[in-house]
């Protein structure tokens, strides 16, 4: 049996392995390598437990520092594991520093690389993830795109020969798991204390963690917008913004922003499915809002998933309270026949592409 090394490190990558690893293991011996980029229980282990993801064979324990420090340390340690394990191929997901380090380490050892979620482009080269995506796509052997837009981007860069359209594994996960928890069973933990909070009947759901929004101004403007909506807002806070969020809530006395510890995937989906609207800068949450037919406002100055920007289902907003309020006031139009993310069988297509492409 051929051996595939899957290399992951961040929350959205764990979630995707939930549908891909079990199928991969029917055909290949999988070695699962966790870089350690996300390491808190509720950013890592919780997903392995609730989605029954096979436990990693390696955890390299590398996190934090500058982009170069993190990527460099990962590159060194991943290379050692790949030399030791001698896989026939490497599987990487998305656009994190773990993705880039894994792809570079494998490319230099001449190990074929399969990139899942290839071809996403924001055309903003100051976006750290854009650098990771472009470099990863260009050293990979097999480029598996989620959507037609991804295929077209790869074509523009002369990469059509290696490209397959497989659909979005995040949609597979959504189809398989999103209904597994009712909002009434969601267990929220207040940020900064162990107090438990019930989910209010009506609420907006927001997340915010991108480097572009790691400033007092962005967070404060988002909070001012949400505070003016007359309903509660649930905000599970990524550890990157933890201290900042607690300080801003304290300084401004926002009453309707319910700040909580990061939740698990099943909880997050129950919250999406029952919320009024979503405000986020997360690539994953933008698509999940679309899957659940919830309107989303994306606080970024670039489009990550152009497929979702239709009928006001997803709109960009500046980190500016008035702009966010304006976008939240728009009506959306839903076309139920529009399915740009595939049919929920991306994982099967990924395995087929691996079998024919490597
Ligand atoms: C990373 C990805 C981003 C992805 C996100 C998913 C890069 C460049 N960015 O961003 O594309 O959307 O993951 O969530 O790889 N921290 C903790 N505990 C944790 C994880 C992080 O305290 O479990 C803190 C660390 O201090 C770290 C900071 O959060 O320095 C930022 O984490 P990092 O992994 O660098 O970036 P993310 O914002 O998570
Ligand atoms: N998510 C979660 N718990 C949270 C916040 C988000 O499980 O507290 C889920 C979210 O529903 C989506 C994924 O995490 O499935 C997206 O990850 P993230 O926003 O960290 O990364 P991105 O998608 O922006 O790369």
Which residue matches tokens 């069973």?
Answer: 185
The residue to mutate among 36, 209, 241, 281, having the most atoms of ligand 1 within 8 angstroms of its beta carbon, is: 209
**Maximum C-alpha span of the chain:** 59
Identify the pLDDT of residue 256: 97
Query: In CATH, what class is 3-168+342-357?
Result: alpha beta
Q: Is 6 in the pocket of ligand 2 (CB under 6 A)?
A: no
pTM: 0.98
Identify the pLDDT of residue 192: 87
Q: Which helix (H) or strand (E) holds 203?
A: strand 203-206
**What is the C-alpha to C-alpha distance for residues 195 and 188, in angstroms, rounded to an integer?**
8
Domain 183-328 indexed as CATH 3.40.50.620: no
Q: Where, residue-wise, is CATH 3.40.50.2000 in the chain?
A: 3-168+342-357, 183-328
Output the CA 156–ligand 1 centroid distance in Å: 30
Identify the pLDDT of residue 262: 98
Identify the pLDDT of residue 326: 98
The answer to whether residues 149 and 322 touch, using CB atoms and an 8 Å cutoff, is no
What residues of the chain score a pLDDT lower than 50?
Answer: none
Identify the pLDDT of residue 358: 80
Output the CA 201–ligand 1 centroid distance in Å: 31
Ligand 1: list residues with CB < 6 Å.
10-12, 37-40, 43, 63-64, 95-97, 128-129, 209, 239-240
Identify the pLDDT of residue 236: 98
**What is the C-alpha to C-alpha distance for residues 218 and 279, in angstroms, rounded to an integer?**
13
What would the two tokens of residue 2 be?
């051929």
Tell me the catalytic residues. Answer: 209
Identify the pLDDT of residue 357: 85
């Amino acid at each position: 049996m051929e051996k595939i090394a899957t290399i992951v490190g961040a929350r959205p990558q764990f979630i995707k392995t939930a549908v891909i690893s079990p199928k991969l293991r029917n055909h290949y011996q999988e070695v699962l390598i966790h870089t350690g980029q996300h390491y808190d229980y509720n950013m890592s282990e919780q997903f392995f437990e609730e989605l029954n993801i096979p436990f990693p064979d390696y955890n390299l324990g590398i996190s934090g520092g500058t982009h170069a420090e993190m990527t460099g340390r990962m590159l060194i340690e991943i290379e050692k594991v790949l030399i030791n394990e001698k896989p026939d191929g490497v599987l990487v997901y998305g656009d994190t520093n773990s993705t880039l380090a894994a792809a570079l380490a494998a490319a230099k050892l001449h190990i074929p690389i399969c990139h899942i979620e290839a071809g996403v482009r924001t055309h903003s080269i100051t976006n750290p993830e854009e650098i990771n995506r472009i470099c990863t796509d260009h050293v990979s052997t097999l480029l598996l795109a989620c959507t037609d837009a991804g295929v077209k981007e790869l074509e523009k860069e002369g990469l059509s020969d290696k490209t397959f359209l497989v659909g979005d594994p995040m949609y597979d996960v959504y189809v398989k798991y999103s209904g597994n928890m009712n909002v009434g069973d969601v267990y929220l933990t207040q940020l900064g204390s162990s107090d438990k909070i019930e989910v209010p009947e009506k609420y907006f759901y927001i997340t915010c963690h991108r480097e572009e929004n790691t400033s007092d101004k962005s967070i404060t403007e988002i909070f001012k917008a949400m505070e003016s909506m007359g309903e509660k807002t649930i905000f599970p806070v990524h550890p990157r913004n933890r201290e900042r969020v607690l300080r801003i809530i304290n300084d401004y006395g926002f009453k309707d922003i319910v700040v909580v510890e990061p939740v698990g995937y099943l909880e997050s989906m129950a919250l999406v499915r029952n919320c009024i609207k979503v405000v986020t800068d997360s690539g994953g949450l933008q698509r999940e809002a679309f899957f659940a037919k919830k309107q989303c406002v994306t606080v970024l100055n670039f489009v990550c998933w152009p497929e979702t920007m239709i009928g006001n289902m997803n709109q960009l907003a500046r980190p500016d309270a008035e702009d966010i309020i304006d976008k939240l006031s728009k009506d959306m139009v839903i076309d139920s026949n529009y399915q740009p993310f595939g049919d929920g069988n991306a994982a099967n297509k990924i395995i087929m592409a691996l079998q024919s492409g490597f």
